[in-house]
Amino acid sequence: MSRGGSESVADFSPQYDPKTVEDRIYKLWEEGGFFAPEAHKSSADNSNSKKSFTIVVPPPNITGSLHMGHALNATIQDILVRKKRMEGYKTLWLPGTDHAGIATQNVVEKDLKKQGISRHDLGREKFLEKIWEWKEKYGNIILDQFKKLGASMDWSRTRFTMDEKYQKAVAEAFLYYHKKGWLYKAERVINWCVRCQTSLSDLELEYKQEDGKLYFIRYPLVSQNNAENFLRNSALSPRGSALVVATTRPETMLGDSAVAVNPKDERYKNLVGKKAMLPIQNREIPIIADDHIEQEFGTGAVKVTPAHDFADADMGERHKLPFRKIIDERGKMTKEAGAICEGLKIGECRDRVVAELKKEGLIEKEEPYRHNVAICYRCGTVIEPLPSMQWFLKMQELAKMALNAAESGKVRFHPERWKDVYIDWLKNVRDWNVSRQIWWGHKIPLEGETDVLDTWFSSALWPVATLGWPEKTKDLKTFYPTSVLSTARDIINLWVMRMVFSGLELMNEVPFSDVIVHATILTKDGKRMSKSLGTGIDPMTLIEKYGADATRFGLIWQAMGGQDVHWSEEHVVAGKKFCNKIWNAARFVLSQLPATSYSTGPSPRALGQLPASPIANTDEDKKILERLEHVKKEVSGLIDTYEFGQALHDLYDFFWHEFCDIYLETAKKQLQDEKLKENTEEILSYVLYTSLKLLHPFMPFITEEIWSKLPIENKKHLIIESWLGQKV
RNA sequence: GGGCAUUUAGCUCAGUGGUAGAGCGUUGCAUUCACAUUGCAAAGGUCGCUGGUUCGAUCCCAGCAAUGCCCACCA
């Protein structure tokens, strides 16, 4: 492994070119087996060798390709993993992908649609075959992109949430909960996507603002006596004996079971217990009192449609009202909606109902009204609440466990404020609807059940299942619980919380102790990056243009303290320049070292080993060595507390300004002085070598490449070098 | 309706109870000397607003404003 200094320098062109380096270096790491936890040969001197450090990557969807969030997240994890590996830990970063039920099914459906084929044309079996084909073809693109970024993942342990063993784990977990009595089947009002033809959990909804109308509808009162009484007290119904309700969805009146008012509302007090006539349907419905009703909104009287509204469903339960299902799973009106509306689509029915009511003079007024409607997080279609037979997982005990894990500090959030987001959500959680009526997913493992499970049910098992659960594997014993989970903020409850209770319930231990909630990368204007809007930036383009190290630099440089990032490419440019600076500093230092003395001779220096602490002869020597010691501690500490941006700023500042701008210039003079020459050489190499180690987790390719050129006897690759000089 | 975050140089952002910092951009000077993907130097900010605490506030406290995000069964 010995090389003459001059020979090394000859390999250096004055510009660093990532294209000639990155693929070669990555291959070198992969072939060397350094990504596996067994990277270090066991050594008695390595005090950390018995400790493990584990991260399971948040598995990207197989429909996905790398976006800026992935790139940042992967870089963060790689920094942690590389540092721990260099510290001698048994380090595992486990990669994999998620089958992403609805998302993938939709993508493949769309793909088939181009050929004019629907999934129903193919049938379930054939369609699933198509998805598997698709997965084989495109499913691992993002994993290759992780490699381009330099991610040091153990590819031998790559998992997929639908691989054979994983399917067993999911079935096992389902049966476990079922046996325990925490899984039950019930007909409930759930979120239904009429396009995807499946139920969705509350967390799978998004909201969009919609400019609609608020319709004020007159419901005639049934008893004439009461009506007269009412008329004397109310100006709300000038044209007759009627109660006026306000609604944004007039078509649902066809399924009304009651009209509700607040029990304290003086205007309606004497109507409670009486009846109103539901127009069009000509059905009598009771007038009930319920605390939930706001007196100030609309007229203070609300139509109650238990089958098609969550609040009304609750009221329906409280008051034992009938659930009349007037909208079916295809978004069409049922027979129960009545002869004039049966078979119409929801929108058509709305028009029809409004026209009918107008004809009868029952629309008091219409007001423009802006409100939020729930939409499917996968296809954007408006969600219909409707009653449906589904599987639910009881959340009471599981939520308690998950809550306790955060409150007790067994799971810590970074930044800490995300703990509140997690806790607040858990405090009023409903049972989890875990069944989905799509084809792509884990089938419910019970006789006669045809539904599949919510994709997040399997994601919830990720840390345990990837390590072997339910088998009592060596990996599970060694690497569970994992150390850190790094993720985006929008899946704290969708995913993180569910992993916590799954881990606690199935393994009796939290799945990870620390959760990093990384920055969200926005456009320069602070807008969401979106592929469909064309506002997204492709990290692969950056890597192509500036190199992986520069891209990582740009990401970490900007992502300070988990704050939102308004992305600007200049920092990637700065990263590229920094690469060149490191490259040339190394070029200079190596050119100054004697070419031959590193391969022969008796002294440690001559053997090409690093002096533990070079002697400082001058004030400049002293200063640079002191500053180096300081930066070593600083950077180590900052990585341990997940302050990667600050660590990189410190390193940048030290290397560029203190080492290159000042000390290197001083060294040029000192090298002319025979008395100082040799010692200055030692300091130059010591500071360079140590800096390369400190920089390696952030910028792994260039540092490894330079390391390969250093005139050190029997050196290891930098990826497994000792972090701060401890034996590994 | 509730909560959280942000507000500092032209832009993107750090930071500190005591004359304000980085990257990029701008201006001037310097190239046979590791790097012009460079070096040296300069210009540029009453640190969102109003009060309070303090000898002293950009930083701590209170209130306000603007922006963004999350949560919520005002139909």
In chain A, positions 320-379 with C-beta closer than 7 Å to nucleic chain B are: 371-372
Q: Are residues A531 and A593 in the same domain?
A: no
Q: Are residues A665 and A596 in the same domain?
A: yes
Spanning CA of A595 to C1' of B30, the rounded length in angstroms is 32
Unique residue bearing structure tokens 């963060």: A76
Q: Which nucleotide is nearest to A295 (CA to C1')?
A: B74
Query: What pLDDT score does A603 carry?
Result: 47
Number of domains in chain A: 3
pLDDT at A604 over 60: no
Q: Is the reported ipTM for this assembly greater than 0.90?
A: yes
Query: What pLDDT score does A265 carry?
Result: 85
Residue A666 has, within 13 A of its CA and on its CB side, a CA count of 19
Query: What pLDDT score does A475 carry?
Result: 95
> For every residue of A374-395, which 3-state class applies, written as one string?
EEECCCCCEEEEEEEEEEEECC
Q: Which nucleotide is nearest to A214 (CA to C1')?
A: B75
- Percentage of residues in chain A having pLDDT higher than 70: 92
pLDDT at A224 over 70: no
Whether CB of A579 is under 7 Å from strand B: the answer is: yes
| Interval A290-297 mean pLDDT | 86
Q: Are residues A350 and A461 in the same domain?
A: no
Query: What pLDDT score does A40 carry?
Result: 79
> Per mean pLDDT, which range of A9-23, A307-321, A565-579, A679-693 is the poorest?
A9-23
Residue A690: which pLDDT band, with cuts at 50, 70 and 90? very high
Whether CB of A678 is under 7 Å from strand B: the answer is: no
pLDDT at A537 over 90: no
pLDDT at A492 over 70: yes
Two tokens, residue A3: 């090389």
DSSP string, A546-562: H-HHHHHHHHHHH--TT
Q: Which nucleotide is nearest to A566 (CA to C1')?
A: B12
In chain A, positions 76-135 with C-beta closer than 7 Å to nucleic chain B are: none
Q: Are residues A250 and A335 in the same domain?
A: yes
In chain A, positions 13-32 with C-beta closer than 7 Å to nucleic chain B are: 14-17
> Per mean pLDDT, which range of A13-22, A501-510, A557-566 is the poorest?
A557-566
Residue A595: which pLDDT band, with cuts at 50, 70 and 90? low
- Percentage of residues in chain A having pLDDT higher than 90: 57
Q: Are residues A169 and A207 in the same domain?
A: no
Distance between CA atoms of residues A565 and A523, nearest Å: 8
**CATH code of residue A69:** 3.40.50.620
Residue A384 belongs to a domain: no
Residue A525 belongs to a domain: yes
| Interval A35-57 mean pLDDT | 81
Whether CB of A562 is under 7 Å from strand B: the answer is: no
Nucleotides of B under 7 A from a protein CB: 3-6, 11-15, 22-24, 33-40, 67-75
> For every residue of A89-106, which 3-state class applies, written as one string?
CEEEEECEEECCHHHHHH
Q: What angle in degrees, to the nearest 10, is found between the helix axes of A396-407 and A418-427? A: 160
Distance between CA atoms of residues A552 and A73, nearest Å: 10
Query: What pLDDT score does A300 carry?
Result: 87
Residue A427 belongs to a domain: no
The pLDDT tens digits of the residues spanning A68-108 come to: 999 999 999 999 999 999 999 999 999 999 999 888 988 89
**A712/A681: higher pLDDT:** A681
In chain A, positions 481-510 with C-beta closer than 7 Å to nucleic chain B are: 489-490
Residue A336 belongs to a domain: yes
Q: Are residues A140 and A56 in the same domain?
A: yes
Distance between CA atoms of residues A109 and A119, nearest Å: 6
Residue A33 belongs to a domain: yes
Q: Are residues A336 and A473 in the same domain?
A: no
Average pLDDT across chain A, whole number: 88
Q: Are residues A244 and A148 in the same domain?
A: no
Q: Are residues A167 and A283 in the same domain?
A: no
In chain A, positions 402-461 with C-beta closer than 7 Å to nucleic chain B are: 417, 420-421, 424-425
Report which of A461, A511, A515 is spatially closest to residue A481, judged by C-alpha positions: A511
Query: What pLDDT score does A549 carry?
Result: 96
The pLDDT tens digits of the residues spanning A332-383 come to: 999 998 889 999 999 899 999 999 888 888 888 888 888 888 888 878 888 9
| Interval A586-595 mean pLDDT | 84
Residue A185: which pLDDT band, with cuts at 50, 70 and 90? very high
Residue A418 belongs to a domain: no
Query: What pLDDT score does A14 carry?
Result: 87
Query: What pLDDT score does A2 carry?
Result: 36
Query: What pLDDT score does A203 carry?
Result: 80
**CATH code of residue A667:** 1.10.730.10
Amino acid at A192: W
Spanning CA of A661 to C1' of B27, the rounded length in angstroms is 22
> Per mean pLDDT, which range of A37-46, A196-205, A594-603, A709-718 is the poorest?
A594-603
| Interval A258-268 mean pLDDT | 88
> Whole-prediction pTM value?
0.91
**A162/A525: higher pLDDT:** A162
In chain A, positions 291-310 with C-beta closer than 7 Å to nucleic chain B are: 292-298, 300, 302-303, 309-310
Whether CB of A526 is under 7 Å from strand B: the answer is: yes
Q: Are residues A442 and A489 in the same domain?
A: yes
Query: What pLDDT score does A233 carry?
Result: 43
Residue A208 belongs to a domain: yes
**A267/A35: higher pLDDT:** A35
Whether CB of A588 is under 7 Å from strand B: the answer is: yes
**CATH code of residue A301:** 3.90.740.10
Residue A634 belongs to a domain: yes
pLDDT at A493 over 80: yes
Q: Are residues A601 and A540 in the same domain?
A: no
Q: Are residues A156 and A82 in the same domain?
A: yes
Residue A44: which pLDDT band, with cuts at 50, 70 and 90? low
- Structural domain of residue A288, as residue ranges? 199-376
